[in-house]
Amino acid sequence: MENSNSFRFLDDDLNQQFIALLKKAKIKHDVAKDGIVRYSPDDEEVVENNVICSIRDKVFPSWQVLSCPRDWTLRYKKYMSHHRIPFHEELSNGELWFLLPRRYRPHMWKLGGPMKTERMAV
């Protein structure tokens, strides 16, 4: 599908629900072998505001999406895992996002300085 948006819940069950809702709503889409769903920018509003959000609402009654620079994703994953913060991963147009309950405040998290793998050699 040319000029398309893409989305995938990395949890296979959530992704299957997403695909089923797209079919039910008769929204034209393609599913790649890796599960990434492509859909038209013309359907962006309904897919993102209705379909994707309806699944997020089932996962967490009150939720937020956390996005960050690519080189920070591992840092956030480690922080959330260490602090037992529930989250699900999503790929939106090639970017990794985290779906988590609304009650958490990522902007207040103390993620520390650079991780060992990110430190520059002297």
Beta strands in 40-109 (DSSP E): 63-67, 88-92, 95-101
Tally of residues, the chain? 122
Q: Can you give the pLDDT at residue 121?
A: 42
Rg (Cα) of the chain, in Å, rounded? 16
- CA–CA separation, 72 vs 24, rounded Å? 36
Domain boundaries, the chain: 5-118
Phi, psi of 40 (to 5 degrees): -70, 145
Q: Given this model, what pLDDT does residue 2 score?
A: 61
Express as a percent the part of the chain with pLDDT over 90. Answer: 82
What mean pLDDT comes out for the span 40-63? 97
Average pLDDT across the chain, whole number: 90
Q: Who wins on pLDDT, 107 or 14? A: 14
Q: For 77-104, how does the pLDDT look when each residue is reduced to its tens digit (9 = 90+)?
A: 999 999 999 999 999 999 999 999 999 9
Paired tokens of 30? 């393609």
